[in-house]
């Protein structure tokens, strides 16, 4: 394996690790089409060397497009991703 391939692999693994730490966090950023979006991260998708965050509202944000990360535990009235505003939690 060449040095550049090893370095690219290391960068990708580092991005995947960082992205995984964002699951459950509220993020804001730009989509591939430069749409500004925000939402709770529900999953991380890796396709080749590309790492993308899937938000609870259906948007996908590449890791390079993330501008803001907020821990919802620090927000006074944040709804968790599984309880959208206006709906009562299931009993």
Tens of pLDDT along 21-54?
999 999 999 999 999 999 999 999 988 878 999 9
**DSSP state letter for 70:** E
Q: What would the two tokens of residue 48 be?
A: 């080749």
Say how far apart CA 4 and CA 90 lie, in whole Å.
51
The confidence score (pLDDT) of residue 83 equals 54
Report, in this order, helix, strand and coil percent for the chain, each rounded to 5. 25, 35, 40
pTM confidence score: 0.71
Q: How far is CA 56 from the centre of its chain?
A: 10
Residue 71 sits at the vertex; the CA angle it makes with 86 and 80, to the nearest 5 degrees, is 25
Burial class (CB within 10 angstroms; exposed 0-12, middle 13-18, buried 19+) of 56:
middle
> 3-state DSSP call for residue 19?
helix
């Amino acid at each position: 394996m060449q040095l550049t391939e090893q370095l690219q692999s290391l960068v990708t693994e580092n991005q995947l690790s960082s992205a995984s730490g964002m699951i459950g966090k509220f993020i804001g950023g730009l989509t591939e089409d430069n749409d500004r979006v925000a939402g709770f991260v529900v999953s991380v998708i890796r396709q080749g060397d590309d790492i993308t965050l899937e938000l609870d509202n259906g948007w996908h944000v590449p890791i390079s497009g993330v501008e803001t990360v907020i821990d919802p535990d620090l927000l006074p009235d944040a709804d968790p991703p599984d309880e959208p505003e206006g709906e009562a939690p299931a009993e």
